[in-house]
Structure 1
Amino acid sequence: ASAGWNMDGPPRLDASSTFLVWRDPVEAWEENWTFVVLQLAMFALATATLVHAIRVGRAGLLLWLAAVGHGLFVEGFCYALPELDNFHHGRALVAIFGGRMPGYVVVLYPAFYYSAAQLASMLLGGLGSQFSGLRALGRRRREASSEGVVDAELVATAALTGLLTALVDVPYDAMGPKLLHWSWHPDDPNVFERTGPFIPTTSFIFHITFAASWLLVGAAASRVARMPCCGKLGWIPALLVASLLPFPLGVMQIQLFYVVPHDLACVPTATCLAAAVGAYLVVIVLCAWWLRGGVTRRVDPSIRRVSALPVLALLSVFSCCFVAFAALADPAGLSDTGVHLPVAVSEEACSRTETMLSLGGVATKSMHLCSLPDGASSGGPLALRPGDRSSFPLVGHTLPAAHCAMPEVPHPFRVANSASEAQAGVIRKWTMIGTEWGAEGPASTRAAMLMVVCWPVALMLTTVLAAWSLDRSPSLAHSKSD
């Protein structure tokens, strides 16, 4: 039914595991049909963006591959570093790293980033179906006789790309944990504050900053690679730079918008997110003001105009899938048997571990799932045994993260039977089963989740229609020559 799954090994990145693993799609459908639909929809959207990038030319393909490389670097870094290892994916149809990283996550980054960047450029300038990070390579805004590697048009497009990526991510992040597509660490300080019942607020800050960094660095690297002095092999170092440099650039922004105010002054994460969104909007407005008036563009014939309609259409279908999930799915009937966060079956394994925060503070973090009896202040072991079909709920933890008070967080799953024996007091392979709508409170009812999912989908569809209309508007036609 499957091949290469390291069910009894450690849940983190394990280089000794089989690199590529897969599972029976029929078995996967029976366990969780929504997860199968999600993966197929993600692969379809990623394929559309890849075809578009290839048709655009070498610059488009570089940015697409840079998004893949960036995603592999970010995900692998999080798996390998315990302080950042705060989520576990479900058992996917195809996965790498011994099953730790699903195949659809590999292409999630180009699917989200490329689509959002395409949409951003069409909104900002009606630049046709090339987004600004590509068109600006050959059609750069000129002032006097100088041309820069990074200009205001690119900065504005990168900022809007970050905001649109977060918008695309809202239904994905809202429904994923409830439908067992992945699970967040129960009390990791970096993902503890939630928007709604299931979305870590820091996830939005991550997507905004990292997507913007990807386009900014990728487009700038592509411009440099096109210079005559770089030669024909200039695209190779450009691809490496575009894959690796967005990570530290994104981290620096997260330090500015989240870590410093949150860890030093206990500013709520929602306030940090509002500050990040506001700052990005200010950047877009300032760039638009800077670029006011007449603009001379120079067309590079090597960058072909390609219709964005297939990408935007599949992006719309992808987003609507989550509305269908909220309307049709029964989370209580879904399950996922695989390697998740280890479950403690001994008192010793339920202990908490100190974890260092980036500014030197210390927080505590449970390395294993433990039950929390009513009124208890610390976890106890779960009565989990192989073959036992009973299930156990997990209630919220109150996290003493540094000196900041944290609320309780509901877990949208229950622990069912074990599929492997305990090792060192923990069980790594077990069955996760979903909970009923509303089990985590009023915010998790079907009606509430439909509201959470429908508004970003409606806003995104409106944005797609607006971008398509702007792109077709005769008043936004640009000069094809100097």
Structure 2
Amino acid sequence: VMDYLLDAYLYPYLPIELDAETKKDINQKAVRLIQVADWFCKYQSPLNMWKNHPSFLAGEILFFVLCALTFCHAWRHGGRYLYVWIGIFIHALNVENLCYWIPDMDNFWQAQGILTFFGARAPLYIILGIYHMFDYTAYVMIQRLRLPWWAEGPAVGLCAVMLDFPYDIMGIKEVWWTWHDTDPNIFDRFYWVPWNSFYFHASFACSFVWILNLSRKFLVDPVYDWKKFPREFLCAFLAGTGAFWLGTIQFAVFYHPAHDFFKVHSEITSILFLAFYAVIVWSADRQSGNPGPAREGNRWWFDELACAIALEYLFFMTLVVIGQPSQIVAEGLHQPVGPCNYTQKVQTPTGLVLQKKIFLCAENYDEGYFDFKCLPGGKLKMPEDGSPLDWYAICGTDYENRAEYIVIVWGACILFGYIFYNLAAWSGETPVIPAKVYRQPRKTMSIGGKSEEKSGKKTPNPLFPAQPEKVSESTPRKRPGKSPARKAAATPSSTSSPKQLRSRSKKTD
């Protein structure tokens, strides 16, 4: 196809004639360029998404709006809030790509969005949506509590989990992504959500804030100086790139020893980990030496972030009621389907080596949120040559008990929404970071053409005469052309009434 396109639309219009070998080389480079562009970004028609996966299209649009709201907040406050937003963008790019490139962490596949990047692995709403909604919103909300820097990280992690909770439960039920079937790190589930997903969001958001605060402590001054933007950006960059590794250390310190060596269920490790975060935050809040600013309240609390939280919770509360996951057909990248007995090693941070199956066994798998019933014949058609299949369609499944989903989603949204309401309305206002203001002196031109600083006191201008003196209103003004005698003759000395004038006329007669 590329040979035909270039022969028909490029080579005939060149001013020189190319030989066959040169054309072949150009064709190969053009194909390579197309492959790179296709790997970098894939497009899917929104109409096709609306037909086969409407809830995912609605979710993408929602998180685009939520991301825009977080950016509006960062832009309105400016300064370091904008750098936090940029740092979270770097964090999103770093985490998503490392999870795809490290085989031991490659255990989930996203549904295909309108634009999907990096080999059809990362929809745009993940990079510009999820991370900003969860992490930036949590960061700003916690700033209003005026916690010490070491407690801000765990507090942001807990808030990120509260924002992620309904998304995780409804997203997997609506087949917005799929999990690896046998990965030991995500084997323990909660409504098909790995318990480690909550651990992940808390630890990585916490790590981002810790690195950000620590780097700002050593690299920048407490007062924001826009002229030192390389240092400000460096702090955001360090937080965005280092949060993944510090978060991994938090997994290695508690989860992996308990789970890998002692076979402790991930539910226990995740709940204890989040409880430990909660104790840190509660202790810091109780020991605050100056709780005044954190208790003043905020009359104008319903800002962009409060609106974003309300929109997210209302969306999932509505989706759990009206959604029809059994009608979903999600075509795209999923866990490769192949032989059921092939395994690979999973290296853990503690040094222990675990095992997982490489391929999804189409005849024996335990992922109850999808099946193949909507496909022709009710089963997956494999390639004739027996090669693994990684691009295929899956079908959503109906609720086993929709009422149970409604209770947990509505209960979580109402409970967490009330917590965020207290953070927004009954804590302090969003802190205003002091910033240096550089003002250029206003200059005037003197007679000699030299510029001088203009002071607040006005100086007389030698090019113009002085202002005329004001004339007192008590002093009569003289009209030119009339003498005082003529003025006295023209003006009667006294004024007579009409009755006196009539009497005078009678005497004259």
| Cα contact 1:420–1:429 (8 A) shared by 2 | no
By how many angstroms is 1:367 displaced? Answer: 1.4
- Measured in 2, the distance between the counterparts of 1:306 and 1:15 equals 48
Deviations 1:158-184 (A, max 9, x none): 221111111111111111121110001
Letter in 2 for 1:327: V
- Measured in 2, the distance between the counterparts of 1:424 and 1:79 equals 25
1:386 counterpart residue number? none
Deviations 1:409-461 (A, max 9, x none): x43101336688466521122111111211xxxxxx21111122112111122
1:248 pairs, out of 229, 245, 249, with 245
By how many angstroms is 1:111 displaced? Answer: 1.4
- Measured in 2, the distance between the counterparts of 1:35 and 1:419 equals 25
By how many angstroms is 1:98 displaced? Answer: 2.6
CA change 1:458–1:296 in 2 (3 A) is closer
1:287 counterpart residue number? 284
Equivalent residues in 2 for 1:228-267 (5 A)? 231-267=228-264
By how many angstroms is 1:213 displaced? Answer: 1.3
- Measured in 2, the distance between the counterparts of 1:91 and 1:61 equals 29
Q: Does 2:77 align with 1:80? A: no
Q: Does 2:81 align with 1:119? A: no
- Measured in 1, the distance between the counterparts of 2:90 and 2:36 equals 18
By how many angstroms is 1:69 displaced? Answer: 0.8
- Measured in 2, the distance between the counterparts of 1:449 and 1:477 equals 38
By how many angstroms is 1:294 displaced? Answer: 7.1
2:421 pairs, out of 465, 471, 474, with 465
| Cα contact 2:301–2:425 (8 A) shared by 1 | no
Deviations 1:124-178 (A, max 9, x none): 25xxxxxxxxxxxxxxxxxxxxxxxxxx622222221111111111111111121
- Answer 1 or 2: higher relative contact order, Cα 8 Å, separation at least 6: 1
Tell me the C-alpha RMSD between the 2 structures. 3.0
CA change 1:367–1:53 in 2 (3 A) is same
Unaligned regions of 5+ residues in structure 1, if any?
A: 1-13, 126-151, 298-304, 373-378, 380-394, 397-409, 439-444
- Measured in 1, the distance between the counterparts of 2:345 and 2:74 equals 45
1:58 counterpart residue number? 79
| Cα contact 1:94–1:102 (8 A) shared by 2 | yes
2:177 counterpart residue number? 182
Letter in 1 for 2:234: P
Equivalent residues in 2 for 1:32-431 (5 A)? 32-107=53-128, 108-122=130-144, 124-125=145-146, 153-195=148-190, 197-227=191-221, 231-293=228-290, 309-344=303-338, 347=339, 350-372=341-363, 379=364, 395-396=365-366, 410-415=367-372, 416=375, 421=383, 425-431=387-393
2:408 counterpart residue number? 452
Letter in 1 for 2:422: A
What is the TM-score of this pair, normalised by structure 2? 0.70
| Cα contact 2:72–2:304 (8 A) shared by 1 | no
Identity of matched residues, %: 23
- Any idea what SS the aligned residue of 2:426 has? helix
2:21 counterpart residue number? none
- Measured in 1, the distance between the counterparts of 2:252 and 2:242 equals 16
- Measured in 1, the distance between the counterparts of 2:381 and 2:333 equals 10
Letter in 2 for 1:448: E
By how many angstroms is 1:242 displaced? Answer: 1.6
- Measured in 2, the distance between the counterparts of 1:31 and 1:295 equals 53
- Measured in 2, the distance between the counterparts of 1:174 and 1:187 equals 19
Larger radius of gyration: 2
Deviations 1:186-206 (A, max 9, x none): 1110101012x2110001111
CA change 1:250–1:419 in 2 (3 A) is same
By how many angstroms is 1:48 displaced? Answer: 0.7
| Cα contact 2:83–2:233 (8 A) shared by 1 | no
- Any idea what SS the aligned residue of 1:18 has? helix
CA change 1:272–1:312 in 2 (3 A) is same
By how many angstroms is 1:88 displaced? Answer: 0.5
By how many angstroms is 1:471 displaced? Answer: 4.1
- Measured in 1, the distance between the counterparts of 2:123 and 2:263 equals 35
CA change 1:288–1:221 in 2 (3 A) is same
2:44 counterpart residue number? 23
CA change 1:243–1:364 in 2 (3 A) is same
Letter in 2 for 1:428: D
| Cα contact 1:186–1:411 (8 A) shared by 2 | no
What is the TM-score of this pair, normalised by structure 1? 0.74
- Measured in 2, the distance between the counterparts of 1:463 and 1:288 equals 15
| Cα contact 2:301–2:424 (8 A) shared by 1 | no
CA change 1:164–1:236 in 2 (3 A) is closer
2:461 counterpart residue number? none
By how many angstroms is 1:89 displaced? Answer: 0.5
| Cα contact 1:350–1:369 (8 A) shared by 2 | no
| Cα contact 1:420–1:428 (8 A) shared by 2 | no
2:456 counterpart residue number? none
- Any idea what SS the aligned residue of 2:406 has? helix
- Measured in 2, the distance between the counterparts of 1:216 and 1:472 equals 22
